[in-house]
Structure 1
Amino acid sequence: MEPTFIHHLQPFLQQAWKNSTFEHPDFVQEKVIPAVLDGRDVIAVAPTGSGKTLAYLLPVLDRMDPGKQAVQAVILAPSKELVMQIQEEAGKWSQGSGIQSIPLIGGANVKRQIEKLKRHPHLVIGTPGRILELIRQKKLKMHEVKMMVLDEGDQLLGKEYSLTVGQIVKSAMRDCQILLFSATLPDAAAQKAIDQMKEPLLIRIAKEEARSPVEHIYIVTGDPRGKIEQLRKIARMGVRGLVFFNNKWDVSVAAEKLRFKGLAVAELHGDMRKEEREKSIRLFQNGDVPLLLATDVAARGLDIPVITHVIQFDLPEDVSAYVHRSGRTGRLGSNAGTVVSLVTPGEEKVLKKFAKAQHVELGRKDIKRGELVDPE
């Protein structure tokens, strides 16, 4: 059954919906899209993997005028990987419309990007640093931009990007509609967003409304060195696991140790070239390796439906990071997932605090004969 809002969208979007695998809209789409179509600024806080991308992409594409040779909307995202995933979705949903979108990311050839801008794309998707650089060079003109989206808003309004994002927002016209989407939104970030928006509508989607069920479990190891062996055992269970580490050096060290034990794995961290990162993601998506070892920054925005397990080799630094990591499994359109934390006795207390703060049920497990079992 088609949702009511679909009938208010342009014909190419109605056709794209019919061609898609969606039978009904996700909860966040039902709440957000009508408000955006009504012209409201919106702050949407919903769990990772709940369908937020489509919640802003459909109304953004709906507002595009393919006959006007100007950038009409800008989508900001904190990572190159997330930008490319949004670009892929935009291409898929705008087929046959004449709408052109381009990605603008740091690290890519800026001269080529300027050449693409000369072809007058309608939609620009990019990382804040490169977007601001091109605005300052007067290569990216903002006077026709009527919509701006901040994806992963907690990151974009955090210390690293806040100033840059603020300058980008100011470069647009005063009547520009601003949409912010995030899995978590600390009070400070929320206030920054409100200060830059026009009476925004705040929409919060609870976990149970938005996603497939995710099981949270943990395994206790005597010391940190025992985690590698536990990880090796988990990999042999037929899982497709995204494994989180707190720094890139530990990713490389763990990968080396696992390969020495005869296990093929892929890595994802900030020191890798774009081609290397893409190869790692491809190996994992295709099932050539059971584990993708990653840092938080490198994995931000990853949307890989095949992930069955998120494995925390290192505990995250705070509850917000725990939420983002957990959201990589049990995503929209996938089956239920499992979050496995490998902890020492000392780390067990910290994990329980995270779980309590998020109202998450946490179960302890052991590995015996290749299976996760309740401890005796």
Structure 2
Amino acid sequence: MNNETKEKSESVLISNRASFIQKAWKGAGFNQATSIQEQTIPLIVEGKDVIAKAPTGTGKTLAYLIPMLEKIETSSKNVQGVILAPSHELAMQIYQTIEEWTKNTDIRSLAIIGGTNVKRQVQNLKSHPHIIVATTGRLLEIIKMKKIKMHEVKTIVVDEFDVLIANEHIHNLQNIVKTTLKDRQILFFSATLSEQTETIGKELMKEPIIVEVEEEKLAHSNTEHFFVVSDERDKIENLRKIARIKGVKALTFINDPNKIREIEAKLMHKGLKVGVLSSEVDKNERKEALKRFRTGQFSVLIATDVAARGLDIEGLTHVINWDVPRYSKEYIHRAGRTGRMGAKGTVVSIVTIREISNIKKITSKLGIELKEKIIYKSVFEDKFNPNKRPSPPKRKR
């Protein structure tokens, strides 16, 4: 980015923003905007409905938060902004970001998520939050209790929208939107687009503008992608070996949430401490697991795709595919957890012989160079190629 472009991005996100935004931006150590921020913030400030697609780790949260925070009228006691997330963990991460960016202001925020005491959450609403970050089921429950007035809501953000417009969530989303007035603004943000995006967008939004940022492709990032061949029964041992590699901090993805407890038990039997993120697991246990993983108390966190959506875990060195992703977009979301903001990352797929073709098909579609490696003495090494065997030294006569 040249100096002229840098000055332009700073003028959009700093010079023309409220003083508390400028202070938080500088305090976070940012010196220039990302592409998704440059393209969406002016549109959101203008009041446009936006569908935004950008790779993970490119600053999507601040792209919608900065203009939302500026619109808040602190003299009002009503809810003015609602942010919807597909998981408790992502909702809390967004809430914590809001808390950090609104220090020393009169902006009040509240997280409303399932699995916690609903009466306590209703009680917390008496603090008159301006922004609510929520999972859809619990928010709709409290709306039906008539404990939240939605008529003053100016902006609704749907984070990881391709999850929340899926069949099992879309009715909650539609019913929440219906409780607001028609002049509200709706923003969709995600790393991938769904086939339903355009249809749902036309139904819920007013002439939405679609913004797609593609320049930070997986194929050109600092993330290395490879696979390790394993029998199904040996995947546990291979995961244990990876966890024992010095400095590893790995997020491991499982397709079937019903298998997570079984895999956890087998790893624990091998003497490996792990944490679990899944809708099948108690919320408090998930919260504790994420906390302990972030602080380095164990090196492996096992998760499903939905539970780990949008999570930003600092210092994550590896993403491990225990199961091959079912779709290429799942690979994108998984891989995006590591190698963020220019850091180095590694994506390892532990596959059986039958699964090799599946993982190659997905990575080929995404333009990713995929190598085969082995785990040897706690190190990943390229698979031995007999054609490259060095010639033995000649014997001295």
TM (normalized to structure 2)? 0.90
> Which of 344, 360, 363 is matched with 2:368 structurally?
360
Conserved 8 A contact 1:46-1:206: yes
Q: 1:107 to 1:263 in 2, by over 3 A?
A: closer
Alignment of 1:138-177 (within 5 A): 138-177=146-185
- Residue number in structure 2 paired with 1:290: 299
Q: Is the 8 A contact 1:227 1:342 kept in 2?
A: yes
Deviations 1:42-100 (A, max 9, x none): 11001122211111111110100111111111111111111111100000001112000
Shift of 1:209: 6.6
Q: Give 2:394's aligned residue.
A: none
**1:240 shift after superposition:** 0.5
Aligned to 2:225: 216
Counterparts in 2 of 1:53-132, with a 5 A limit? 53-132=61-140
The answer to whether the Cα contact below 8 Å between 2:72 and 2:107 also exists between their aligned partners in 1 is yes
Query: Which residue is 2:44 aligned to?
Result: 36
**One-letter amino acid of the structure 2 residue matched with residue 309 of structure 1:** H
Distance in 1 of aligned mates of 2:130 and 2:252: 37
Change (3 A) 1:188 1:258: same
Deviation string for 1:8-58 (max 9, x for gaps)? 221111111121121222221111111111211111001122211111111
Alignment match, 2:253: 244
- Tell me the equivalent position of 1:266: 275
Secondary structure at the aligned position of 1:296 is classed as coil
Choose which of 36, 46, 50 in structure 1 pairs with 2:54.
46
Aligned to 2:210: 202
Superimposed CA distance per residue, residues 121-160 of structure 1 (whole angstroms, 9 cap, x where no aligned partner): 1111101111122222221111111111000000111111
- For residues 120 and 18 of structure 2, the distance between their equivalents in structure 1, rounded to whole angstroms, comes to 32
Which residue of the other structure, out of 11, 17, 20, is the alignment partner of 1:4?
Answer: 11
Between the aligned partners of 2:215 and 2:115, the Cα distance in structure 1 is 35
* Structure 2 CA distance for aligned equivalents of residues 175 and 264 of structure 1: 51
- Partner AA of 1:220 in structure 2: V
- 1:300 and 2:309 are equivalent in the alignment: yes
- Contact kept in structure 2, 1:72 and 1:146, CA below 8 Å: yes
1:116 shift after superposition: 1.9
- Please list the CA deviations of residues 261-296 of structure 1 after superposition, one character each: whole Å capped at 9, or x if unmatched: 222222222232222112211221111111111222
Please give the alpha-carbon distance, in whole angstroms, between the structure 1 residues aligned to 2:383 and 2:217: 32
Instruction: Please say which of residues 194-203 and 94-103 is displaced more in the overlay.
Output: 194-203
CA contact (8 A) 2:55 2:216 kept: no
Deviation at 1:348, TM superposition (A): 0.6
Secondary structure in 1 aligned to 2:371? Answer: strand
Answer with 261-270 or 47-56: which moved more.
261-270
> Shift in Å at residue 212 of structure 1?
4.9
Deviations 1:195-251 (A, max 9, x none): 211111111111527995222111111x20121121111112121100111223432
> 2:369 and 2:198 mapped to 1: Cα distance?
28
SS of structure 1 residue aligned to 2:364? helix
**1:245–1:312: 8 Å Cα contact kept in structure 2?**
yes
Unaligned ranges ≥5, structure 1: none
Q: 1:207 to 1:350 in 2, by over 3 A?
A: farther
Partner of 2:388: none
More divergent stretch after superposition (94-103 vs 354-363): 354-363
In 2, Cα distance between the equivalents of 1:38 and 1:298? 33
1:291-316 Cα distance to aligned partner (Å, 9 max, x none): 11122232223221221100011112
Conservation of the 8 A alpha-carbon contact between 1:158 and 1:189: no
Q: Give the CA RMSD over aligned residues.
A: 1.7
Counterparts of residues 182-193 of structure 1 (less than 5 Å): 182-193=190-201
Normalising by structure 1, what TM-score?
Answer: 0.95
In 1, the alpha carbon distance for the partners of 2:222 and 2:134 equals 32
Q: Which amino acid aligns with 1:287?
A: G
Q: Give the number of aligned pairs.
A: 374
Distance 2:262 2:350 in 1: 17
The residue type paired with residue 4 of structure 1 is: S
> Which residue does 1:330 correspond to in 2?
339
1: CA distance, partners of 2:266 / 2:245:
19
Q: Name the SS of the counterpart of 2:251 in structure 1.
A: strand
* Amino acid corresponding to residue 198 of structure 2 in structure 1: A
Answer whether contact 2:55 2:217 (CA < 8 A) is retained.
no
One-letter amino acid of the structure 1 residue matched with residue 39 of structure 2: K
Shift of 1:254: 2.2
> Which residue of the partner structure matches residue 255 of structure 1?
264
Identity of aligned residues (%): 45
The one-character-per-residue Cα deviations of 1:162-194 (angstroms, maximum 9, x if unpaired) are: 111112112211111111001111222332123
Shift of 1:352: 1.1
